[in-house]
């Protein structure tokens, strides 16, 4: 048998579910639709929370809160304003950072902030070689060192931009500019359209 | 003004990465209202940030699924917000003409009792709470575990704290407190065994504070602009 025929026998990869439509169903109280949303988002939600918080138990707790929040506030998702994944992952990252700041207030992480763990390849370590990961990686490589470090410390490290400025020993204005310029470059490199 | 706007515009990146303080976030969100360019940029950068999250996806612990799914059966969902207004309409809202509709949003979101307790309707009229803040406040006051504490203050009037342990947030609002000279402000503190942390200045409205169980909320009179640490005896202290 020739190769093309064999290929035809292979199952088509399932198309990714339409998250925006699913969230609409979730907003109407559809538990089955929520299971599909859970299947799609629990990995990225847990991953980003874990990236910021590090502690597995705490990450699990926060990720659960986030996923329940997605159930609770599904009616507030507005497809005109962005993708469903971005909406959900914004909630996830924000919650993780809120948790970091709450801890900071109790001065536990302040000491850690003074001597940050090397942030280099945490991402690669935890992540399967997904397509998305490779793409992000490649686009990260296209940034200047300062842009890359600023974005990593802010997003994956959960640091505020003044903390990032202190860690990198640069002026506040510089960090704000580098984060923005770097993200814009990432956006163009990954051909994000919104 | 131009310089300040440029400065705010640069914040788009830090804003989508949650690298700004709560005060800066509020200020920036107010700015977004009037700046279509910034809003468009924020959208694109938010999607970009989402890719950063997708790139670090991990398999969540298996037990999480059952726990979350079970919790959905115990959790009431928020009603939808009214259709989004066009920019021009929104500007009118800013000008204060569409207030009754915004009040309706709030009344729908918050339980009537909580809204009355908080005097939110009055606050909205006076201070034009933006939608994001109103939603955040509604989230706390409608939380299943929300607890309400009210106390009279030594500066007259009363202070009300609605706190959710699950959300780790509290809404602090005051009413009827003596007005202060322009050189003084009421400052709200989250007090924990490790010290007091400012939750912001109270301009007769209400504010959100990140709290943990066991914290207390205190209000002091401070010099205009606020201070890093409380310098006077609180006019009121409430448990969270």
Tell me the pLDDT tens digit for each residue of B160-211.
Answer: 888 888 888 888 888 788 888 777 888 898 888 788 888 888 876 678 888 8
Is residue B108 pLDDT above 60, yes or no?
Answer: no
User: Is pLDDT above 90 for A43?
Assistant: yes
**C-alpha distance from residue A139 to each of A13, A75, A134 (Å):** 26, 34, 9
For the beta carbon of residue B120, count every other beta carbon within 10 angstroms: 25
CB contacts of A94 in chain B (<8 Å) are: 18
Q: The complex's ipTM?
A: 0.83
Q: Are the beta carbons of B42 and B71 closer than 8 angstroms?
A: no
A143 touches chain B (CB under 8 A): no
Residue B24, pLDDT above cutoff 50: yes
Contact B191, B215 (CB under 8 A): yes
> Between residues A14 and A89, which one has the greater pLDDT?
A89
Instruction: Tell me how many degrees the CA angle B115-B165-A78 measures, rounded to the nearest 5.
Output: 60
Is B62's Cβ below 8 Å from some Cβ in A?
no
Average pLDDT over residues A38-56: 95
Overall average pLDDT of the B1-20 stretch: 80
Average pLDDT for A170-183: 97
pLDDT at B96 exceeding the cut of 80? no
Question: Which residue did the predictor score with more confidence, A147 or A194?
Answer: A147
List, as ranges, residues 109-138 from B with C-beta within 8 Å of A: 135
In angstroms and rounded to an integer, the radius of gyration of the C-alpha atoms of chain A is 19
CA distance B164 to chain A (A): 13
B190 contacts A83? CB cut-off 8 A: no
- The pLDDT of residue A1 is 46
% of chain B surpassing 90 pLDDT: 26
Q: H-helix or E-strand containing B118? A: helix B112-118
Crossing angle for the helix pair A19-27 and A31-53, to the nearest 10 degrees: 110
- Give the rounded percent of residues in chain B with a pLDDT score beyond 70: 75
Q: What pLDDT does residue B110 have? A: 47
Q: Do A173 and B47 touch (CB under 8 A)?
A: no
Please state, as a whole number, how many other Cβ atoms lie within 10 Å of the Cβ of residue B35.
Answer: 17
Flag if A130 and B81 touch (Cβ within 8 Å). no
Using pLDDT thresholds of 50, 70 and 90, give the confidence band for residue B109: very low
Segment B2-11 shows an average pLDDT of: 69
Q: Which residue has the higher pLDDT, B223 or B92?
A: B223
State pTM to two decimals: 0.60
State pLDDT tens for residues B40-68.
999 999 999 999 999 999 999 999 999 99
pLDDT at position A186 over 90? yes
Residue B231 above 60 pLDDT? Answer: yes
d(CA B126, nearest CA chain A) in Å: 25
Q: Residue range A158-167: average pLDDT?
A: 96
From chain A residues 22-41, the ones with a CB under 8 A of any chain B CB are 27, 29, 31, 34-35, 38
| Higher pLDDT, residue B138 or B43 | B43
Instruction: Give the mean pLDDT of chain B.
Output: 78
Provide DSSP, B105-162: HHHHHS-HHHHHHHTHHHHHHHH---HHHHHHHHHHHTSTT-EEEEEE-TTSSEEEEE
* Binary contact (A101, B84; C-beta < 8 A): no
Say how far apart CA A65 and CA B188 lie, in whole Å.
Answer: 27
Q: Which of A177-186, B5-14, B104-113, B175-184 has the lowest mean pLDDT?
A: B104-113
- Higher pLDDT pick, A148 / B142: A148
B6, B10, B43, B52: best to mutate for the A interface, most A CBs within 10 A: B52
Does B71 sit within 8 Å of A42, measured CB to CB? no
How does residue B153 score in pLDDT terms, banded at 50, 70 and 90? confident
CB B105: neighbour CB atoms within 10 A?
Answer: 17
* Burial of A81 per CB tally in 10 Å (0-12, 13-18, 19+): middle
Question: How far, in whole angstroms, is CA A178 from its chain's centroid?
Answer: 19
Model pLDDT, residue B132: 64
- Is residue A32's pLDDT more than 80? yes
Give which of A120, A44, A188 is closest to B44, Cα–Cα. A188
**What confidence score (pLDDT) does residue B198 get?**
87
- Identify the pLDDT of residue B160: 82
The rounded percent of chain A whose pLDDT value lies above 70 is 78
What residue in A sits closest to B17 (Cα-Cα)? A155
Say what the pLDDT of residue A131 is. Answer: 77
Please judge whether B77 and A29 are an interchain contact, meaning their C-beta atoms are less than 8 angstroms apart.
yes
pLDDT in tens, A105-119: 665 444 444 444 444
Rounded distance between C-alpha atoms, residue B128 and residue A184, angstroms: 32
């Amino acid at each position: 048998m020739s190769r093309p025929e064999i290929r035809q026998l292979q199952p088509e990869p399932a198309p990714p579910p339409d998250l925006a439509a699913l969230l609409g169903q979730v907003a109407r109280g559809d538990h089955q639709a929520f299971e599909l949303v859970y299947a799609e988002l629990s990995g990225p939600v847990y991953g980003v929370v874990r990236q910021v918080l590090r502690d597995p138990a705490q990450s699990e707790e926060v990720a659960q809160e986030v996923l329940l929040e997605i159930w609770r506030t599904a009616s507030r998702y507005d497809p005109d304003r962005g993708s469903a994944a971005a909406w959900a992952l914004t909630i996830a990252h924000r919650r993780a950072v809120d948790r970091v700041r709450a801890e900071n207030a109790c001065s536990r992480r302040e000491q850690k902030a003074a001597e940050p763990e090397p942030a280099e390849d945490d991402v690669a370590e935890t992540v399967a070689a997904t397509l998305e990961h490779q793409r992000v990686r490649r686009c990260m490589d296209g940034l200047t060192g300062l842009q890359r470090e600023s974005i990593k410390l802010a997003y994956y490290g959960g640091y505020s931009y003044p903390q990032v400025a202190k860690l990198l020993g640069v002026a506040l204005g510089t960090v704000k500019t580098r984060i923005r310029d770097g993200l814009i470059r990432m956006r163009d490199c990954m051909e994000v359209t919104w | 003004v131009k310089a300040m706007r440029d400065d705010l515009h640069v914040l788009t990146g830090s804003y989508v990465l949650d690298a700004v303080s709560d005060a800066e976030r509020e200020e920036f969100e107010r700015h977004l209202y009037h700046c279509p360019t910034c809003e468009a940029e924020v959208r694109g950068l938010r999607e970009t940030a989402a890719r950063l999250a997708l790139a670090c996806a991990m398999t969540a612990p298996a037990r999480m699924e059952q726990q979350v799914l079970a919790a959905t059966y115990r959790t009431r969902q928020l009603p939808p917000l009214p259709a989004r207004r066009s920019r021009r309409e929104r500007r009118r809202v800013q000008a204060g003409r569409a207030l009754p509709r915004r009040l309706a949003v709030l009344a729908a979101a918050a339980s009537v009792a909580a809204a009355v307790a908080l005097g939110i309707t009055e606050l909205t009229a006076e201070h034009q709470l933006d939608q994001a803040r109103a939603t955040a406040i509604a989230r706390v006051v409608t939380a299943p575990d929300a607890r309400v504490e009210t106390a009279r203050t030594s500066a007259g009037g009363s202070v009300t704290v609605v706190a959710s342990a699950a959300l780790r947030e509290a809404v602090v609002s005051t009413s009827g407190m003596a007005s202060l000279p322009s050189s003084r402000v009421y400052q709200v503190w989250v007090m924990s065994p490790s010290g007091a942390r400012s939750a912001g200045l109270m301009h007769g409205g209400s504010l959100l504070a990140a709290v943990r169980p066991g914290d207390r909320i205190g209000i002091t009179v401070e010099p205009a602009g606020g201070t890093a640490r409380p310098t006077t005896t609180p006019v009121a202290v409430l448990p969270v």
